[in-house]
Structure 1
Amino acid sequence: MPDIFTILFPILVGFCAVSAFITYGLGIYVFAQSPSSVVNRLFLALTLTATYWALGEFLIWHSTGYDGYLFWVRASSFWPLVVAFTVHFTLAFTDHPLAQEKKRGVLFAALYLPALLFALIGLFTDLIYTVAFLPGTGYVYLPVSTSPVYLVERAYVLLAMVWVAYIGISSWRGAPRGRVRSQNRLFCAGITAVVGFGALSGLILPALGIYTVNLVFIGIVVFSLLIAHAVRRHGLFVLSPQTAVPEIVKTMPDGLILADMDGRIVTANASAAEIFGVAEAELVGQSVGRLLPETACAAIRAAVAEQERFSDLEATPDCREGSIVSIDGAPVRDPDGEPAGFVMIVRDVTDRKIAETALRTANQKLSLLSQVTCHDIGNDVTGLAWYLSLLAEDRMHPDGEMYLDRSVKLAENIKKHLEFSREYQMIGVYQPVWQPLEPMIARAVDGIPHPGVEIAVRVAPVEVYADPLSPKVMYNLLENALRHGGGITRIDLSTDEQADGTLAVIFEDDGAGIRDDEKEKIFRCGYGKNTGLGLAFARDILSVTEITIRETGRAGRGARFEILVPPRAWRPAGRTDPDLPCRGETP
């Protein structure tokens, strides 16, 4: 060994140990960032095998006798796996078509099988490396340059490393400017260092008759430092497209389903399982037709057959009655350009559709309200103008005081119409809130005169999730009973939890009641003896949070109004779960 290598010997051996520690630590760190990422798992496998190789080289050069030297040379025979993992990792990192799952057989045959064969041959024979004693140098392992096995192994390693360098450089040159390009540049620089030092130690120096510690570990240290810099500075293994995609798919709020050409689900994320109300593991292998109605499936099949994208396809899942989903998707092709299936992005739009329906309904009701209000105000204005004209003709007319009183009443009616219109148009404007039921009813009772009428309140201590205008409902029901009850003497207010969890808030009086043929008509705009808007107003306020109202009394025995609060819209008083807006719902 030349003097310079004698001097450098301790340093080169030290690089083996440093390489082992750095690669091991870096591999564990990267794997911990995203254990589910294929790229991160391959990097861990690469670093662990590199650590094994470096420790083997370190122990080889610390052996003093022939037997120890030969033992560690044989024990290090599995180093070709480092080459195999390097190629596989590079393919996955650059998103090469050969890294796809269905190409695993090709990779195993082309990469791992030869590496394992070379390892086994090196473990049990001297056909690749042999141990010799060189004067002035000591024991060294020498390549069996005349062995066909050694020549094939060298060709395998050389071709693999050249291919890795080519793939890395191509990926770097084709990467967009910015973070991804910086990641690829540092990766290429690291691979180039490994290939360069490996070629120096495996080809150039042996050709010059120089046998020393494998210099590839210098390249591995350089590679590890560059990768560590890329991780810290440019988010490598955390923000690269190849490693981020699995996490994005896993955490995205919209459902993602990948299906083959037969409509059989290949994979799906947790959001898709939640939207369809099934376990994530149960989705894989199912037919899309079991989740969506035939009309939606037919539209998807037609789009896939024509190799066209489809969007805004709305459907009601068969497994979740009452919910509505919007589906976007596109055909998927394999690397050869052949149709392989389709991908669907599924979004739960139930709330949006409810809001759209509510908006249309509100517009219709506002239009009707405008018509009714304009009609009533028009009548009142006509009457007001008539009485004022009579007063203008003869201010001393005997009925002048009556004319004036009626004019004042008509003006008050116009004011009431305007106030009611202002309140009506505020339905649904503000976010529903939790409101204690008993104080809400108490304010309505205190706010309305009821001489001679006993009002008994026996309600459970609960809160209801309703529009802020809901106290108006309580007031309107009481006012309606007092105004139209027909000589009532008592009003009972109570609550009753039904078998399905619905809470019934009951308003019951002992008046004349309501005929069967009017039980539904009284909730229509314009029907009634006064403005005809009070009960319609009440129903619309309650419907904001899907609370309903009905009349179930018997004519001649009193009216009975039942406000039915669904389980998700009421809770015991004092409960303040911020993430549970409705009783019984899972957030």
Structure 2
Amino acid sequence: MPDILAALFPALVGFCIVSAFITYGLGAYVFAQSPSSAVNRLFLVLTFSATIWALGESLFWNSTDYDNCFLWVKAGSFWIFVVAFMVHFTLAFTDHPLAQEKKRGALLTLLYLPALLFALIGLSTDLIYTVGLLPGAGYVYLPASASPAYLAERAYVLLGLGSAAYVGIVSWQRAPAGRVRSQNRLICIGIATVIGFGVLSGEVLPALGVYIVDLTFIGVVVFSFLIAHAVRRYGLFTLSPQTAVPEIIRTMPDGLILADRNGKIVMANMSAAEVFGVGEADLPGEPVGQFIPPAACAAIGAAVAGRGRFSDLEAAPDGREGMVVSLAGASVRNPDGEPAGFVLIVRDITDRKAAETALRTANQKLSLLSQVTCHDIGNDVTGLAWYLGLLKEDRMHPDGEAYLDRSIRLAENIRKHLEFAREYQMFGVYQPDWQPLEPMIARAAGGIPHPGVEIAVRVAPVEVYADPLSPKVMHNLLENALRHGGGITRLSITTDEQADGALRVVFEDDGAGIRDDEKEKIFRCGYGKNTGFGLAFARDILSVTGITIRETGAAGRGARFEISVPAGTWRPVDGRETGPNPGE
């Protein structure tokens, strides 16, 4: 027997080196196929740790002095992590519940903490392996057979590898016939080969008093060739319709939920968790009705029971104010054809619904604008035609000069109607931008004649984030005050910062003011002495970036318009923002 072992010694050491190169190359290749796959990453860690273990084993048996042998025995204490990675890889490959993210704590406690404990005991003590000198064999590592630490480590290894083998075999038996079953079969055979050679080298031979290079690496080489064959022949670890499904589910932008017949969530992806504002691990086990309103749940149940599928069902998730989702799904049946539950696809359509609402509102406003503008222009054209008709009948009429003045004013009104319509149709077309407030007001005041009226501007040097048509708001407020203020002599524009961070811009005059029953009416389309669109238009423009306007003056003591600019939509002109930049 010693002669046979001596003859095999170079070949066995060679197996260590060969297995190191094979496992490293195979792990790198598998990882490159799909770096984002958790299974592929685990396989890389497994093969890399096996490579280090194999190199350490070869270095030990090539050492000729005690110090080097002792060094490599201590370094080899971390070989136990190969077992941990093997078990973890098997659980992940078979999609075992212990491999799910929510079970990460249990896996860490049951698998990795014991491995770390055994590694540290082996590194710092002789309670697991020691270095001995055997006649004719040289230095070997000997198990501390009577040590509780060694017995516990051996139990851990046997239990871990036995569990991996069991999980693999069960997955193999349950896998559908074809490629997936073939992949499972080859992996199971590979794991069994490694376990067989490990038991032979770690249990059988030591019991016979034979200490030689670990034969486990022969099993590792066989395992590597089986994996390579599965990769080449059956597409193991490569992107295919069969292997890509878990990755697709995990990364798809729409939320996916699998629920049983009772509406309990069995599985959900990250996108679903983001839609409902919870952690991915918090969804499984919870009822679907906890996140979707009862009416939507009832509609889903009726659709699944009736047609077996549904789509374009809109709902507002509970606890997610302002959010709208579109639901689609279908019933799921077990292999016997019996109903087993349903799959639910959840898509966040909040932005789309907001855009639809904005478009619908814009169309309604443009339609109303068209109606009112056409009506007003029609009235002005009728009046213009009447005055021109009078002038045509009698060009020397005593009131001819007055008729001509009124005709000119009517033509000017028509021009203003058309100009306003042109400006309003551009509402919301251009993106909002930062605009300096004081120059905006100064240009508006400078463009309006105001003889006898003092306009006092005392505003902070700030910029506001607003629609490009916002200067029209300033012009409109000044023009309304001068035209309808009722003999005003002073108009002031001031700013002050509020406790909530908002900036208040106040337009205040000393005229007749606005009655209480008209304070809200003046912002309605069609209400007013001219086109009736000035203040309604102003409110719409400001609302693009969340700015609001209201009238707070007292009738008989002057009008007072307060514009509230929310925090984050105004900033000092030096660029120091007071809140989040809406433009980012």
Measure how far apart 1:243 and its partner are: 7.4
- Structure 1 pair 222–481 and aligned structure 2 pair: CA distance change class (3 A): farther
Q: Hey, what does 1:48 align to over in structure 2?
A: 49
Determine the C-alpha separation between the residues in 1 that align with 2:480 and 2:280. Answer: 53
SS in 1 for 2:309: coil
SS in 1 for 2:407: helix
C-alpha distance after superposition, 1:74-122 (max 9, x if no partner): xx9x9999899879857955879999999xxxxxxxxxxxxxxxxxxxx
Q: Hey, what does 2:13 align to over in structure 1?
A: 13
Determine the C-alpha separation between the residues in 2 that align with 1:313 and 1:575. Answer: 42
C-alpha distance after superposition, 1:5-33 (max 9, x if no partner): 99997576334224236636875997899
- Structure 1 pair 290–214 and aligned structure 2 pair: CA distance change class (3 A): closer
Do the aligned partners of 1:314 and 1:327 also contact (CA within 8 Å) in 2?
A: yes
The reply on whether 1:446 has 2:446 as its aligned counterpart is yes
Measure how far apart 1:421 and its partner are: 0.5
Q: Hey, what does 1:127 align to over in structure 2?
A: none
C-alpha distance after superposition, 1:530-583 (max 9, x if no partner): 222211111221222332222111110001112233335334444477994449
Q: Hey, what does 2:521 align to over in structure 1?
A: 521
Do the aligned partners of 2:61 and 2:213 also contact (CA within 8 Å) in 1?
A: no
- Residue type of the alignment partner of 1:563: I
Do the aligned partners of 2:433 and 2:466 also contact (CA within 8 Å) in 1?
A: yes
Measure how far apart 1:529 and its partner are: 1.6
Q: Hey, what does 1:436 align to over in structure 2?
A: 436
Q: Hey, what does 2:340 align to over in structure 1?
A: 339
Q: Hey, what does 2:131 align to over in structure 1?
A: none
Do the aligned partners of 1:258 and 1:268 also contact (CA within 8 Å) in 2?
A: no
Determine the C-alpha separation between the residues in 1 that align with 2:577 and 2:560. Answer: 33
- Structure 1 pair 215–172 and aligned structure 2 pair: CA distance change class (3 A): farther
The reply on whether 1:473 has 2:473 as its aligned counterpart is yes
Q: Hey, what does 1:327 align to over in structure 2?
A: 326
C-alpha distance after superposition, 1:296-349 (max 9, x if no partner): 23334444555534444221533x33x122133435758657625644424151
Between Structure 1 and Structure 2, how many residues are aligned?
523
Determine the C-alpha separation between the residues in 2 that align with 1:465 and 1:308. Answer: 46
Q: Hey, what does 1:534 align to over in structure 2?
A: 534
C-alpha distance after superposition, 1:427-472 (max 9, x if no partner): 1111222222222222212222212111122223333222111110
Measure how far apart 1:412 and its partner are: 1.6
Measure how far apart 1:481 and its partner are: 0.2
Aligned pairs for 1:555-570 within 5 A: 555-570=555-570
Determine the C-alpha separation between the residues in 1 that align with 2:258 and 2:568. Answer: 34
Q: Hey, what does 1:545 align to over in structure 2?
A: 545
- Structure 1 pair 317–362 and aligned structure 2 pair: CA distance change class (3 A): same
Q: Larger deviation: 309-318 or 22-31?
A: 22-31
- Residue type of the alignment partner of 1:45: L
- Residue type of the alignment partner of 1:520: E
Aligned Cα RMSD in Å?
6.3
Do the aligned partners of 1:437 and 1:462 also contact (CA within 8 Å) in 2?
A: yes
SS in 2 for 1:567: coil
- Residue type of the alignment partner of 1:565: V
Determine the C-alpha separation between the residues in 1 that align with 2:272 and 2:458. Answer: 44
Determine the C-alpha separation between the residues in 1 that align with 2:283 and 2:567. Answer: 29
Q: Hey, what does 2:314 align to over in structure 1?
A: 313
- Structure 1 pair 255–100 and aligned structure 2 pair: CA distance change class (3 A): closer
Q: Hey, what does 1:484 align to over in structure 2?
A: 484
- Residue type of the alignment partner of 2:486: G
Determine the C-alpha separation between the residues in 2 that align with 1:462 and 1:481. Answer: 24
Do the aligned partners of 1:268 and 1:283 also contact (CA within 8 Å) in 2?
A: no
Determine the C-alpha separation between the residues in 1 that align with 2:441 and 2:266. Answer: 53
Determine the C-alpha separation between the residues in 2 that align with 1:275 and 1:503. Answer: 34
Do the aligned partners of 2:437 and 2:461 also contact (CA within 8 Å) in 1?
A: yes
SS in 2 for 1:549: strand
Aligned pairs for 1:159-174 within 5 A: 174=179
- Residue type of the alignment partner of 2:481: A
- Residue type of the alignment partner of 2:494: S
Measure how far apart 1:425 and its partner are: 0.9
Measure how far apart 1:57 and its partner are: 7.2
Do the aligned partners of 2:45 and 2:85 also contact (CA within 8 Å) in 1?
A: no
C-alpha distance after superposition, 1:381-433 (max 9, x if no partner): 12222222233333333333333332222222111111110001111111222
**TM-score scaled by structure 1?**
0.66
The reply on whether 1:377 has 2:356 as its aligned counterpart is no
Q: Hey, what does 1:462 align to over in structure 2?
A: 462
- Structure 1 pair 247–46 and aligned structure 2 pair: CA distance change class (3 A): farther
C-alpha distance after superposition, 1:223-264 (max 9, x if no partner): 87997xx99xx9967999857945973x66555555554445
Q: Larger deviation: 483-492 or 565-574?
A: 565-574
Determine the C-alpha separation between the residues in 2 that align with 1:171 and 1:95. Answer: 15
Aligned pairs for 1:195-274 within 5 A: 242=243, 245=246, 249=250, 254-257=254-257, 259=259, 261-263=262-264, 267=268, 269=270, 272-273=273-274
Structure 2: 5+ residue runs without aligned partners? 103-133, 140-157, 201-211
**TM-score scaled by structure 2?**
0.67
Aligned pairs for 1:357-368 within 5 A: 357-368=357-368
Q: Hey, what does 1:393 align to over in structure 2?
A: 393
- Residue type of the alignment partner of 2:326: I
Q: Hey, what does 1:142 align to over in structure 2?
A: none
Determine the C-alpha separation between the residues in 2 that align with 1:282 and 1:459. Answer: 51
- Residue type of the alignment partner of 2:318: P
Q: Hey, what does 1:403 align to over in structure 2?
A: 403
Do the aligned partners of 1:508 and 1:559 also contact (CA within 8 Å) in 2?
A: yes
Do the aligned partners of 1:258 and 1:344 also contact (CA within 8 Å) in 2?
A: no
Structure 1: 5+ residue runs without aligned partners? 103-131, 140-152, 176-183, 203-211
Do the aligned partners of 1:28 and 1:44 also contact (CA within 8 Å) in 2?
A: no
SS in 1 for 2:413: helix
Do the aligned partners of 1:19 and 1:51 also contact (CA within 8 Å) in 2?
A: no
Determine the C-alpha separation between the residues in 2 that align with 1:492 and 1:241. Answer: 73
Do the aligned partners of 2:519 and 2:551 also contact (CA within 8 Å) in 1?
A: yes
- Residue type of the alignment partner of 1:328: L
Aligned pairs for 1:69-88 within 5 A: none
- Structure 1 pair 20–372 and aligned structure 2 pair: CA distance change class (3 A): same
- Structure 1 pair 35–381 and aligned structure 2 pair: CA distance change class (3 A): closer
- Structure 1 pair 95–264 and aligned structure 2 pair: CA distance change class (3 A): closer
- Structure 1 pair 526–548 and aligned structure 2 pair: CA distance change class (3 A): same
State, as a whole percentage, how many aligned pairs show the same letter. Answer: 60
- Structure 1 pair 577–461 and aligned structure 2 pair: CA distance change class (3 A): closer
Q: Hey, what does 1:109 align to over in structure 2?
A: none
SS in 1 for 2:395: coil
- Residue type of the alignment partner of 1:505: V
Q: Larger deviation: 351-360 or 551-560?
A: 351-360
- Residue type of the alignment partner of 1:525: C
Determine the C-alpha separation between the residues in 1 that align with 2:460 and 2:279. Answer: 38
SS in 1 for 2:464: strand
Do the aligned partners of 1:454 and 1:490 also contact (CA within 8 Å) in 2?
A: yes
Do the aligned partners of 2:23 and 2:50 also contact (CA within 8 Å) in 1?
A: no
Determine the C-alpha separation between the residues in 1 that align with 2:179 and 2:577. Answer: 52
Determine the C-alpha separation between the residues in 2 that align with 1:498 and 1:347. Answer: 35
Measure how far apart 1:34 and its partner are: 6.1
- Residue type of the alignment partner of 1:48: S
